């Protein structure tokens, strides 16, 4: 009884906070969501809300719904927001996203599991509304705030990660502590997703370091970097380490400055020391080198099943969300885990999942989304040549690398379009480009007026 009461108190406080910010400071909700993503454990903190409350059963979902509501309210009371919405709807990234959703929606006509397809379409539409809301609500003065929130939430989880690693007492998903290797998950349902969030925090740390010139604060960021890297190491996430290496290489290419090389070099140095101190991490990383057979049996048969579905339904796929139903009915013979009751039945590799469920058309739509994202970053790069142009390009690189982090990580642990962080990042990229373009136009106009005078 007391526990239920506490859950209701937490839910009502969370709801009140979201409603207040939605009316008074809606742009803060973006950063609140970026932090709430880390609290997957909040599903255990909320009381049972019934069918109508199914979209409010975690802090991240509650903030998402609140942000959409805040955007609708602003559209109602502010005519300029309606003009901005028209501009956002005609943006090439928005069009690419709508095409991908339309491809998924069309698949309901032939899907092997229409109920699941309908659920996935609703989820995509909800996240698309979140993206539109971010485009409308984001403010220039808060453009770095999501980086700060993700960074410090990640840092705050480091002590908990160390506690779990040393004591094998997990606060959630206790089964992960069983066996020879305990992989910490803190407030996440899975260690790989925790590793993904830590990488987002590392990217945020490096971006904030780059934009900060105060020696004291830079020292704080470097110490924080040490903690984030240590927590990432004890997740024992192979995909996390590989993702971090790729993302850091991209950062060096996208921000070729000596000021960025120093913290990245320090990060590499930390990594070498951690691996030297914990041979378990190195042994786990070696499974990449040993090839396909070294990875667990579940990944093997899931990859084979996804490829078989794609080759058998090459053009259109089996329908959005139809992987599991098709696997259990027509490709179950590929399942090699014994007994049959054990083993995963959901695909964990984004590209293969899209190939199996939406075929070549789905892969083409995904490619279009990526082309649009890269095009946004390219436009920000061109504008960076203008005075103060780096104020838009540098955070743009950060949000681009957030999307890249989620995408690479999702090849081992799924959750690409399902992860709110990519919709936050895409929305802020579009907002950054719009703001940078407006600032550039104002400068050109002022320049023209001064010349004419």
Confidence band of 274 (pLDDT split at 50, 70, 90): low
Are the C-beta atoms of 83 and 75 separated by less than 8 Å? no
Are the C-beta atoms of 177 and 29 separated by less than 8 Å? no
Query: How many C-beta atoms lie closer than 10 Å to residue 145's C-beta?
Result: 17
The whole-number pLDDT of residue 31 equals 96
The whole-angstrom separation of Cα 378 and Cα 20 is 37
Note the pLDDT tens digit of each residue in 178-234: 776 778 999 999 899 999 999 999 999 999 998 887 888 888 998 898 899 888 988
The whole-number pLDDT of residue 292 equals 41
Check pLDDT > 60 for residue 150: yes
Are the C-beta atoms of 231 and 158 separated by less than 8 Å? yes
Query: How many C-beta atoms lie closer than 10 Å to residue 188's C-beta?
Result: 23
The whole-number pLDDT of residue 282 equals 54
The whole-angstrom separation of Cα 265 and Cα 250 is 14
Note the pLDDT tens digit of each residue in 290-337: 444 445 666 778 888 889 999 999 999 999 999 888 888 888 877 776
CA distances 223 to 116, 149, 155, 209, 230, Å, are 45, 17, 10, 12, 11
The pTM is what?
A: 0.91
Report the SS3 class of residue 302: helix
Sequence-separated (6 or more) residues with CB below 8 Å from residue 152 = none
Give 11 or 390, the one with higher predicted confidence: 11
CA distances 363 to 170, 266, 391, Å, are 39, 38, 33
Check pLDDT > 50 for residue 449: no
C-alpha dihedral sign at 26, 32, 37, 39: negative
The whole-number pLDDT of residue 111 equals 93
Give 319 or 435, the one with higher predicted confidence: 319
């Amino acid at each position: 009884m007391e526990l239920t009461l506490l859950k209701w108190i937490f839910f009502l406080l969370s709801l009140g906070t979201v409603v207040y910010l939605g009316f008074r400071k809606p742009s803060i909700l973006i950063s609140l969501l970026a932090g709430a993503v880390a609290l997957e454990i909040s599903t255990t903190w909320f009381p049972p809300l019934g069918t109508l409350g199914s979209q409010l059963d975690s802090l991240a979902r509650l903030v998402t719904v609140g942000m959409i509501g805040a955007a609708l309210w602003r559209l109602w009371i502010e005519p300029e927001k309606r003009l901005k919405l028209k501009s956002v709807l005609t943006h090439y990234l928005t069009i690419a996203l709508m095409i991908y959703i339309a491809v998924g929606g069309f698949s309901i006509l032939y899907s092997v599991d229409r109920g699941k397809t309908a659920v996935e379409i609703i989820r995509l539409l909800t996240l698309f509304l979140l993206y539109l809301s971010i485009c409308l609500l984001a403010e220039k003065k808060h453009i770095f705030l999501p980086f700060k929130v993700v960074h410090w939430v990640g840092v705050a989880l480091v002590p908990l990660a160390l506690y779990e690693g040393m004591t094998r007492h997990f606060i959630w998903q206790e089964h992960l502590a069983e066996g020879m290797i305990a992989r910490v998950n803190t407030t996440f349902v899975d260690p790989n997703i925790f590793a993904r969030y830590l990488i987002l925090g590392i990217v945020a740390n490096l971006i904030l370091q780059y934009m900060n010139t105060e020696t004291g604060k830079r020292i704080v960021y470097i110490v924080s970097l040490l903690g984030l890297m240590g927590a990432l190491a004890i997740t024992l996430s192979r995909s996390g380490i590989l993702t971090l290496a790729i993302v850091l290489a991209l950062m060096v290419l996208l921000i070729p400055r000596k000021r960025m090389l120093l913290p990245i070099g320090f990060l590499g140095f930390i990594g070498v020391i951690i691996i030297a101190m914990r041979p378990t991490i190195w042994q786990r990383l070696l499974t990449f080198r040993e090839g396909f057979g070294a990875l667990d049996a579940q990944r093997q048969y899931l990859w084979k099943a996804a490829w078989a579905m794609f080759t058998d339904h090459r053009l259109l796929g089996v329908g959005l969300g139809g992987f599991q139903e098709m696997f259990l009915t027509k490709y179950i013979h590929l399942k090699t885990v014994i007994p049959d009751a054990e083993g995963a039945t959901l695909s964990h590799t984004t590209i293969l999942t899209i190939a199996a469920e939406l075929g070549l058309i789905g892969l083409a739509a995904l490619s279009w989304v990526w082309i649009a994202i890269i095009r946004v970053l390219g436009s920000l790069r061109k504008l960076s040549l203008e005075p103060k142009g780096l104020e838009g390009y540098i955070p743009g690189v950060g949000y681009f690398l957030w999307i890249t982090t989620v995408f690479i990580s999702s090849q081992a642990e799924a959750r690409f379009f399902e992860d709110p962080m990519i919709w936050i990042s895409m929305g802020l990229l579009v907002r950054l480009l719009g703001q940078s373009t407006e600032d550039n136009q104002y400068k050109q106009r002022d320049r023209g007026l001064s010349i004419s005078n």
